[in-house]
Structure 1
Amino acid sequence: MKDINEFFSTISEPEHRKRAEELFDWTMKSYPQFNVVIKWNQPMFTDHGTFIIAYSSSKKHLSIAPETVAISAFKEAIEKSGYQHTDNIIKITWDQPIDFSLLKKIIDYNIQEKIDYTKFWRE
């Protein structure tokens, strides 16, 4: 996979693709300083060369991957929003609304926590 359009083309259900595009558009409008890179067939948003958040899709849900530290920090809010999660991803089923205010808090947390970080991933 070489670009974001190729990622969107892998989402066969039109309504799912539209929701994923909405999420990407919101992210780029909210954080115009982000760069999008494709790694492991997944689009990832970076700030000053460090990973901030990634999105992917499956048949049943959108996956939000902000790194384990951020999921741990927002575990209660994630669960309060009705989302399932693992240590590595937040699952938003296709029929659940996207909690953009929570997503903003998670992204802002990662930006602040990694402001002086020079590596891609946290150690």
Structure 2
Amino acid sequence: MESFSEFVSKINNPEHQSRTNEVLDWVMEQFPNLTPVIKWNQPVFTDHGTYIIGFSVSKQHLAASPEREGIIQFSDAIVQAGYEHSKMLIRFPWDKPVDFSLLEKIIEFNILDKAECSTFWRK
């Protein structure tokens, strides 16, 4: 995970570092065709130059940002999994496990939904 090592090294809490590494490594293993990049000082995954998902950290959670469409599509599943979300991000609390099957569905949705997208963001 060379692409994100500097980002992760700046996380003060070792447990949060470990969880962040776990999630970023998982995305790279499950979706090897995605390109890992740093944008806005945060880890982001793109596909053919279009945004698929990004991550950020706070004291309370690891956040995933699948664009608004990803939130709308999976809003009920996110809530049923016990997570909170806003219009643009999902909050994975540090003290709860990450639901990787939900995360996988969200990423797969974005890859398929943006397959013909020629811009970074949806229009």
> Normalized against structure 2, the TM-score is what?
0.96
- 1:1-123 map, 5 Å: 3-123=3-123
Query: Deviation string for 1:39-87 (max 9, x for gaps)?
Result: 1111100011110000111111000000001101100000001101100
Aligned residue-pair number: 121
Q: Percent identity between the aligned chains?
A: 50
Instruction: Note the aligned Cα RMSD (angstroms).
Output: 0.8
Segments of 5+ residues of structure 1 without an aligned counterpart are none
Post-superposition offset of 1:36: 1.1
- Which amino acid counterpart does residue 26 of structure 2 have in structure 1? W
SS in 2 for 1:75: helix
SS in 2 for 1:79: helix
SS in 1 for 2:32: coil
SS in 2 for 1:11: coil
Q: Residues of 1 paired with 2:42 and 2:25: CA distance? A: 16
Query: Deviation string for 1:13-38 (max 9, x for gaps)?
Result: 11110000000110000000111111
> Normalized against structure 1, the TM-score is what?
0.96
Task: Show structure 1 runs of 4+ deviating over 2 A.
Answer: none
SS in 2 for 1:32: coil
